[in-house]
């Protein structure tokens, strides 16, 4: 099975793919649209891209390409803990207190802001294009006294030693990745337990405040729980929005079709992006 993922090698997306699909042929792509296009053109079976709380790319790009461009379906969701570690080249293990510079992706540096501000106050920070790129640089420059922030896969791939574990500011830190496929399918993984979810994109007729309230009524009186609701600009005019809605339920025969019919009768456009299992990947 071929899977395109948001690279480079040893990125957080790579880590999630390795955990969920240990036997697949995983192919890194440079950007999220590149991943999505590989799935549309069926160069791969699935594409795995970050959807929420990502470090290595904007979720908005994922959401917007799914709404505007791509006729792809979510086949599964992978929720993965994001754990940031400080690593050094083995030849520098005795200089951990005197690092000249610490390298990482700007989002990872931001996520470890408090740790850096206390334990490494004054140490120079340098941005790299990804956490994996920081680890790669260290492996190629053992003569420099550097640290890198990234995940355990990057430490393993590039032969580095983790010297401070879990240095991210918020203990609760997850990224949701979606597994995209050309046709609507539900991908079942042997991994751990799962919950059921359905993702909809809803465009309201006009007056947002009232119409959104009506849309939520369609879910509320059926006791359908929403785990996410987010407005996104339609990109046609300032102030026009569509809504991304995650319902904590499988597509059934009565409740969800009923809610969708009701929203359509109110003048909304509803696009079903997928009905799938959501897996929580282990540490």
Residues in contact with its own copies by CB under 8 A are 30-34, 37, 53-55, 57-61, 64, 68, 79, 106-107, 109-111, 113, 125, 127-130, 170-174, 207-210, 212-213, 216-217, 219-220, 223-231, 233, 235-239, 241, 280
d(CA 9, CA 23): 16
User: E strand or H helix at 47, and its extent?
Assistant: strand 46-52
Measured in residues, the chain has a length of 283
d(CA 188, CA 220): 29
CB of 206 to its own copies, least distance (A): 11
Q: Which residue, chain included where needed, has tokens 């955990």?
A: 19
Structure tokens at 148: 């890198």
- Residue 211 CA: distances (Å) to CA of 51, 217, 242: 26, 10, 12
Give 179 or 211: the residue with its C-beta nearer to its own copies.
211
Quick one: DSSP state of residue 11?
A: S
Give 113 or 156: the residue with its C-beta nearer to its own copies.
113
d(CA 178, CA 1): 16
Please state the φ and ψ torsions of residue 61, each to the nearest 5 degrees. -65, -45
CB of 45 to its own copies, least distance (A): 22
CB of 163 to its own copies, least distance (A): 22
Give 80 or 275: the residue with its C-beta nearer to its own copies.
80
CB of 200 to its own copies, least distance (A): 14
Residues 183, 185, 187, CA angle at the centre, nearest 5°?
135
Give 155 or 224: the residue with its C-beta nearer to its own copies.
224
CB of 8 to its own copies, least distance (A): 9
Give 61 or 185: the residue with its C-beta nearer to its own copies.
61
């Amino acid at each position: 099975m071929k899977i395109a993922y948001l690279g480079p090698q040893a990125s957080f997306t790579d880590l999630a793919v390795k955990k969920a699909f240990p036997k697949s042929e995983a192919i890194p792509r440079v950007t999220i649209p590149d991943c999505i296009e590989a799935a549309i053109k069926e160069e791969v079976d699935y594409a795995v891209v970050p959807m929420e709380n990502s470090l290595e790319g904007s979720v908005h790009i994922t959401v917007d390409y799914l709404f505007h461009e791509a006729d792809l379906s979510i086949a599964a969701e992978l929720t993965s803990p994001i754990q940031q570690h400080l690593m050094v080249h083995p030849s520098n293990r005795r200089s951990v207190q005197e690092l000249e510079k610490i390298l990482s992706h700007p989002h990872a540096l931001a996520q470890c802001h408090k740790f850096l501000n206390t334990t490494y106050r004054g140490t120079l920070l340098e941005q790299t294009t990804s956490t994996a790129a920081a680890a790669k640089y260290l492996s190629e420059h053992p003569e420099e006294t550097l640290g890198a922030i990234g995940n355990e896969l990057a430490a393993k791939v590039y032969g580095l030693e983790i010297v401070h574990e879990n240095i991210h500011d918020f203990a609760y830190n997850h990224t949701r990745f979606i597994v995209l496929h050309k046709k609507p399918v539900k991908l079942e993984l042997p991994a751990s337990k799962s919950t059921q979810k359905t993702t909809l994109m809803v465009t309201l007729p006009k007056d947002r405040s009232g119409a959104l309230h009506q849309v939520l009524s369609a879910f509320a009186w059926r006791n359908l729980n929403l785990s996410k609701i987010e407005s996104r600009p339609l990109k046609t005019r300032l102030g026009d929005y569509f809504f991304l809605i995650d319902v904590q339920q499988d597509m059934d025969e009565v409740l969800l079709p009923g809610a969708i019919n009701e929203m359509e009768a109110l003048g909304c456009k509803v696009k079903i992006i997928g009905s799938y299992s959501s897996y929580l990947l282990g540490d």
